[in-house]
Chain A
Amino acid sequence: MTERTAGHPAEGAIRRLRRAWPAAAAAVLAAAAVAGCGSLPTRIQGTDVIEAGQPAVVTSDRPNGTLLFFIGENGRLTPALREGLFDSDDGNAEGGLIGGGGSESDSGYLLPVTFVMSRLLAGPADAERAAGLHTAVPFSPKGSEVKAEYTGRQLNVRFTFPVTELSATARAQLVCTAYHAGLRRPVTAVVLLGPDGETEPARCDETDG
C-alpha cells in the first residue's frame, strides 16, 4: 500500500495507528470489562463504622423521678433516677418541696432546684453505690445552703463552698443536675456561684439526646 502511494514516512505511521485503533479499543474495552468484573467482590467485605440513624429512646419506670448525675465506674457522667419530687404519688417529695425555704417571688420554680441539688450533694444512695456510682463533688454537710435564682433563662445556683476549683466532672455533675431540675424550661445556661466567685455559663452537653 505504501509503495503505491509513496507518501511521507509519517503517513505510514499514521495509517498503522489508524489500523491499530480498533484493535486497541477492543483490547481496552475487554480489559475494562474483565477488570470491572474482577473488582466486584463476591465475598461480603468489612466496612468502616457507618451511622445507622437515631439511637433507641427508652423511658424510665419513674418518669417524674429526680434526675441526678453521678460518675460511673468508667469515669463517665451517668444519670440516676430517684423516686420523689416530681412523682405525684410521692409524699416525701411533696414534703421536701414544701419544706425547702425560699423568699423569692418565683420560689415555686426554685424550690425543686435547691431540693435536687441538696440530694446530689448528699452523694449516691446505697443502691447507686452498688451500681458503681460515685460523686466528684466534695461532700457537703447536711443543711448546707443552696440558693437558686433565674436571670432570664439563665439559672444561677449558689453554694457555700468554693466552685472555681472544682474538677470538670464535678462541675458537669452540678450543671447537668441543675439543668434538668428546674421547672422553668428550657434553661439556656447554668452558672455556679460560690464564695470564691462564679463559673462560666455552661450547658449540659454531655447528655444531649
Chain B
Amino acid sequence: MKRFAPLGLRTRLIAGFLLVAAISALTTAALAYREARSAVLRQTQDTAVASMRDVLDRRPIRLPYTRSTDLSAECRDIARLAKPHPWAVFAEYGTMRASSGNSGTSTVITPELRKAAHEAPRAVFQRVVKDGTPYLTFGMPAVMDYRGERIGTGAVFYGVMAMNTEQTTIDAMVLAARDGALPGLAISVIPALLAARSVLRPVRDMRRAARRMGEGRLDTRIEVKGRDELAELARTFNETAGALEASVQELQQAEARARRFAADVSHELRTPLAGMLAVTEVLDEDAARLDPDTAAAVRLVSAETGKLAHLVDDLMEISRFDARAAELHTDEVDMAETIAKTLERRHWLEQVHTDVPDGLRARLDPRRFDVVLANLVGNALRHGGGPVRIRVYAEARPGGPWLLTEVADSGPGIAPEVLPHIFDRFYKADAARTRSAGSGLGLAITLENVRLHGGTIRAANGPYGGAVFTVEMPWEART
C-alpha cells in the first residue's frame, strides 16, 4: 500500500528542523539586512543633502551671477565641506555651468533630476547606477530670503557622490548575514539528530521486540522509559505481548493435554488389546470346529480386533510425532533394493511397476521410508487400482540434490475438493464409505515421516488420470 517509498523518520525530522531553521534564519537575516541596508543608504543621503544645505544656508550671494568663476567658487566651497565623503559639486545658473572640478557638467545627473530641481524649489535626490558604480545625485535649488519673502534665484547646485563605501558596507552585511546563517543551520542539525534519536530508539526497540515475538519468543518485553507517547506505546506493546503470551500458553497447554490424552488412551488400550489378539488367534484356529453362525461371529470379532489393534498402533505412532518423540535413524541405502524389499514383503511385486535407476543411493531412515512407500502403494492399490508405477529420480536444487519418489495409480484420480484435505487425520475421501480398510491415519503418518526427513509430499492428478503422490526429500536426510 506504499504509493512511494517515504523518507526515513530521521531524514524527515532533520529535514524539518533544517527547514524551520533555514526559514527563520533567512527571514531574520533578510529583514535585518533590509533594514540595515536602507538605514545605511538613508543616512548617507540625508548627510550629503544636509551638508550641502548647511553650506549654502544664509550664504550671502550677489545676484545675478555675472561670471561663471563666481559660481565655481561657490562649488568649491561646498565641495570642501562635503560629508560623509567627498563629492563633486556642479552648479547651473541660466546657461551658466560651473563645477568644483574641471568638467563643467556631470554625465551622471539625469534630466529628470534637473527638471525636478528646477520646477519645485525643493531638494531632490536620485540614486543612479552608471557603469556599475552606484552614485548618489542630488539637486539643491537656492532660494533667496528677500525681506521675509523667498525668491527663487534660478541657481541649482548638484552633488554627485560615488557610493562605493556604502556598497562595501552592504557587501559586508551580506557576508555577515550569510556567515551567521550557515553555522546556525549547521548547528540546528544537532538538535535534529538528538530529537530523531530520542524518537527512533524506542521505535527501533519496538521493531526488534516485534520481530522476536514473530520468531516465537513471546516473553519479549520492551523497557519503558519516560512518560511520553512512545513510552505509552511501549507499555501498550508490553501489555499486548503479555496477553498474547498468556493465551498462546493456554492454547498450547490445552493442545498438549489433548495429545497426552490421546497417547494415554491408545497406550491404555494396547495392553487389553494384546490379550484380546492372543485370544482371537486361538478362536480363529478353533472356528472351523464351531457351528457356522458362531464361526462367522468369531471371525468378525477377530477381524475387528485386528483393525482395532492397527488403529491403536497408528494412534500411538502419530502421538509420538505430536510429542516430537519420533527419531530418525538414517542409513545409506540402495534405492532399488529398498523399494523391492518393501514390495516383496507385502507381495505387491506383480502389481507394481518400478522405474528406479540402478545403483542410486541415498541417505534416509529405511524403516520410515518403508512405511511411507507401503502407505502410498497400499492406498494406490486400494483406491486407485493397478497398474501402480513407482518412479525415483534426482533433482538438482539450490543447497544440494533432492530425491523425488513418485507413486502413480491408474484409478479415477482424486476429486479436486478432496485434494487440500487428503493428508488430514481421519479424513475420508468418500463420505459414504465410512468403514474403509485403513485407519484414516495412513497419509497423515506418511506426511509426518516425510517431514521428519526434512521433505514434503504432494498429491495431484496425473495428466492421463490417476492420482500421483510425489515425495520430495533432501538427498541426505539430516537428523
Residues of A within 8 A of B (CB): 1-3, 16, 26, 29-30, 33-34, 36-37, 40, 42-64, 67, 70, 72-74, 76-81, 86, 127-128, 130-133, 180, 185, 206-209
Contact = CB atoms under 8 A, between A and B. Distances in A.
B163 interface: yes
A133 B23 CA distance: 65
16 contacts: A37-B26, A42-B170, A45-B129, A46-B134, A49-B113, A54-B123, A55-B123, A55-B140, A56-B57, A57-B143, A59-B145, A60-B144, A64-B147, A79-B154, A130-B66, A209-B121
A40 B116 CA distance: 29
B31 to A, nearest CB: 9
A42 B171 contact: yes
A133 B204 CA distance: 96
Contacts of A64: 147
B313 to A, nearest CB: 50
Contact of B62 (A62, A132, A207): A62
Interface in B149-173: 149-154, 157, 163, 166-167, 170-171
Nearest to A206: B152
Interface stretch (B45-53, B230-238, B347-355, B361-369): B45-53
- The CB with the most chain A CB atoms within 10 A, among B22, B57, B64, B95, is that of B64
Nearest to B25: A33
A71 to B, nearest CB: 10
Contacts of B441: none
Contacts of B1: 1-3
Nearest to B152: A207
- Which applies to chain B's interface (DSSP): helix, strand, loop or mixed? mixed
Contacts of A2: 1
B440 interface: no
Nearest to B181: A37
Nearest to B156: A55
B127 interface: yes
B124 interface: yes
A60 B152 CA distance: 12
Interface of B: 1, 3, 16, 19, 22-23, 26-27, 29-30, 33-34, 41, 45-46, 49, 52-53, 56-67, 93-96, 110, 112-113, 116, 120-129, 134, 138, 140-154, 157, 163, 166-167, 170-171, 174
Contacts of A76: 94, 154
Nearest to B3: A16
A122 to B, nearest CB: 16
Contacts of A46: 126-129, 134
A35 B45 CA distance: 29
Contact of B66 (A3, A42, A54, A131): A131
B415 to A, nearest CB: 34
Contacts of B150: 57, 207-209
A179 B256 CA distance: 127
B161 to A, nearest CB: 12
Contacts of A52: 45-46, 49, 122-125, 138
A63 to B, nearest CB: 8
A50 B126 contact: yes
A108 B171 CA distance: 68
Contact of A209 (B19, B27, B143): B143
A45 B171 CA distance: 13
A139 B34 CA distance: 62
A207 B1 CA distance: 84
A133 B64 contact: yes
Contacts of A86: 147
Contact of A180 (B59, B63, B140, B151): B151
A77 B122 CA distance: 18
A60 B60 contact: yes
Contact of B144 (A36, A70, A79): A79
Given A44-B127, A209-B151, A56 B26 contact: no
